[in-house]
Structure 1
Amino acid sequence: MPRRGRNHRITTLPLAALVGGLALVAGCGGGEDDTAKAPRASKSATTPAAGIVAPAKVEVIAGLAGCKPEIRIDADELREGLCHSEQADYRITTFPAEKYKEAWLDAASVYGGTYLVGPRWVVSAKAEHLEQARNKIGGTVQKLGSTS
């Protein structure tokens, strides 16, 4: 699939950078119980009430959540934006390919937490806000395990 305007050579994100980026997201996990045992998550309902799932674009997902994003990371492997709505604060991370999202989720499982996950995107927020966001954005709520 051709990309617009830039030479996008896909490179792998060094694990240290990926884990470092996840440390920024760990605060958005919402203080979930750290005693979870499974590295991958239990899943709740998988589609929003309208049956629509947001595309992998930070600005579109933020708009559906009712906020305007501030882009914090714009790299070949991911884009990340923060946005604040009246209901919640969101960290929206999008990926150019599913394999980058899976690598991100694998690394995030070390920190635990609950995330809203869709095709090539992940939304971080306090756990109590994720189900409401899922109704607007789509995706699946996943609770990632912690190794501690």
Structure 2
Amino acid sequence: MGSLYHLTPVKAALVCGAALALSLAAGCSKSGQETPQAQRATIEQLAQKTGCTLIGKRDSKELKQGQCKTSAGRYVLVSFTDDKGRDAWLTEAKPWGGTYLVGPGWVAVATPQILETLRKDLGGSIVHGDQHGVGDKSGGHSRGHSGG
């Protein structure tokens, strides 16, 4: 009879796969640093977490929007009264291109590099809008999404 600790290659792969899944579910990044769980927040709370003072604020019944400029760069923060409004806004915005950091009830808009920096403070998922380009074989339009 073999040792209790003897693993066949198949069992070892399953154990490693389960460990990887657990670390991803816990929100660990490739560098081993933990990405925070995205929380519902106002643009003022998001601005505070990212160290910016909001400028050019707009307020309506469905959403609030403000601009930030920090050492990380320039970005726009938008908060919504609910996720349905956020999703409708994203549906309208994505055909125009761009990259978005999406959390519960909010969106940040900036370059992918800035959004990766913001994601370390805010959590959320990076979402890419349609890409428009000459070299694009889909007639100039393609969609992309990467979760986190």
What TM-score comes out, normalization by structure 1 length? 0.63
Letter in 2 for 1:104: W
CA contact (8 A) 2:67 2:76 kept: yes
Cα RMSD between the aligned structures?
Answer: 2.1
Listed one character per residue, the Cα deviations across residues 36-93 of structure 1 (whole Å, up to 9, x for unaligned) are xxxxxxxxx8957243324320011111111111252110010001111111111000
Matched with 2:13 is none
Q: Distance in 1 between matches of 2:107 and 2:35?
A: 19
Cross-structure match for 1:68: 53
Match of 1:92 in 2: 77
What stretches of structure 1 of length at least 5 have no aligned partner? 1-44
Supply the distance in 1 between the matched residues of 2:89 and 2:119 (Cα, whole angstroms).
20
Report what 1:29 is aligned to: none
Contact 2:98 2:110 in 1 (8 A): no
1:85-112 Cα distance to aligned partner (Å, 9 max, x none): 1111110000001111011000011201
The runs of at least 4 consecutive aligned structure 1 residues that moved more than 6 Å come to: none
**Which has more strand, going by share of residues?**
2
Of residues 100, 106, 113 in structure 1, which corresponds to 2:91?
106
Q: What is the aligned-residue identity percentage?
A: 32
Q: 1:145 aligns with which of 122, 127, 130?
A: 130
Q: 1:50 to 1:114 in 2, by over 3 A?
A: closer
Match of 1:117 among 92, 99, 102: 102
2:68 — aligned with what? 83
Displacement of 1:134 in angstroms is 0.3
C-alpha distance in structure 2 between counterparts of 1:51 and 1:129, whole Å = 16
Structure 2: which amino acid aligns with 1:74? D
2:40 and 2:104 in contact (8 A); partners too: yes
Provide the C-alpha distance between the structure 1 equivalents of 2:96 and 2:51, rounded to a whole number of angstroms.
27
1:89-139 alpha-carbon deviations (Å, 9 max, x no partner): 110000001111011000011201111000010001122111111011111
How far off its partner does 1:143 sit?
0.7
The alignment of Structure 1 onto Structure 2 pairs a total of residues equal to: 104
**SS state at 2:118 partner:** helix
